[in-house]
Amino acid sequence: MLSVVILISGRGSNMASLLAAADAGTLPVRVAGVLANRSDAGGLETAAACGVPTRVVDHRQFATREDFDAAMATAIDAFSPDLVVLAGFMRILGAAFVRNYHGRLINIHPSLLPSFPGLHTHARALAEGVRIHGCTVHFVTPDLDHGPIIVQAAVPVLDGDSEETLAARVLAQEHQLYPLAVRWFSEGRLRLCAGRVVLDSPQLDSGALIAPQTSAR
Ligand code: GRF
């Protein structure tokens, strides 16, 4: 079974959605470990309660970004994962780290990329007056919140939305989207082709997702 390591910085609700899907048997992966860059990340307790090993690599203990990245890579590699999943991991990882995990490092971002990379996506979406917002799962490249898009989910922006109501609507989609993307990866159905993601055998899935370019293979 495919082995996965999840990196978090906070409450870990996306991590929890992956653990729940794996537990329910709808996501055929083994979550080998959960790593955080902060010891107060709430998700660490959730992971431990699920019997998943946890480690903290505190970025404040390292003089340089490169030193932190190296320590994080050592902690990840101790689990020999097939896939590294960033789930609310709030540190920028350097180009060497990202290249080392090329094709097996994915992230979820709370906007329809390439709109609104970076922080405060929901507030910025409201300020711009967009009518559609959402979330994106993508392969990670050295550019922040950029990389081949695996799948997106869209939500309406409603009159009267606050940052909180919009964030909650997007988060509910994130919790569906990330297990789906990881399942596709685990099934070997994601191919990178000319910098874009191709999903093999799309007929295996139904639903109104904004899915990648597809192939009937
Ligand atoms: C999510 O909105 C995720 O897209 C973003 O940070 C948030 C993390 O939430 N990168 P959680 O820790 O998974 O609950």
DSSP assignments along 119-181, one per residue: S-HHHHHHHHT-SEEEEEEEE--SSTT-S-EEEEEEEEPPTT--HHHHHHHHHHHHHHHHHHH
- From its phi and psi, is residue 103 left (phi > 0), alpha (psi between -120 and 50) or beta? left
Q: How confident is the model at residue 58 (pLDDT cuts 50, 70, 90)?
A: very high
Closest to 106 measured CA to CA, from 175, 32, 4: 4
Q: Determine the average pLDDT of the residues in 183-193.
A: 95
> Is omega for the bond preceding 212 within 30 degrees of 0, making it cis?
no
Banded model confidence at residue 167, pLDDT cuts 50, 70, 90: very high
Q: Is the pLDDT of residue 207 over 60?
A: no
- Residue 109 known to be catalytic: yes
Tell whether ligand 1 has an atom less than 6 A from the beta carbon of residue 9. Answer: no
**Does 158 score more than 70 pLDDT?**
yes
Angle among Cα 97, 98, 104 to the nearest 5 degrees reads 120
145 in Cβ contact with 137 (< 8 Å): no
Residue 60, CA distances (Å) to 20, 67, 69 in order: 31, 11, 12
Pocket test for ligand 1, best of 37, 46, 108 (most atoms within 8 A of CB): 108
CB of 145 within 6 A of ligand 1: the answer is no
Q: What is the pLDDT of residue 14?
A: 98
Q: Is 88 in the pocket of ligand 1 (CB under 6 A)?
A: yes
Please identify which of the residues 59, 109, 133, 175 carries the catalytic annotation: 109
Whether ligand 1 lies within 6 angstroms of the CB of 134 is answered as no
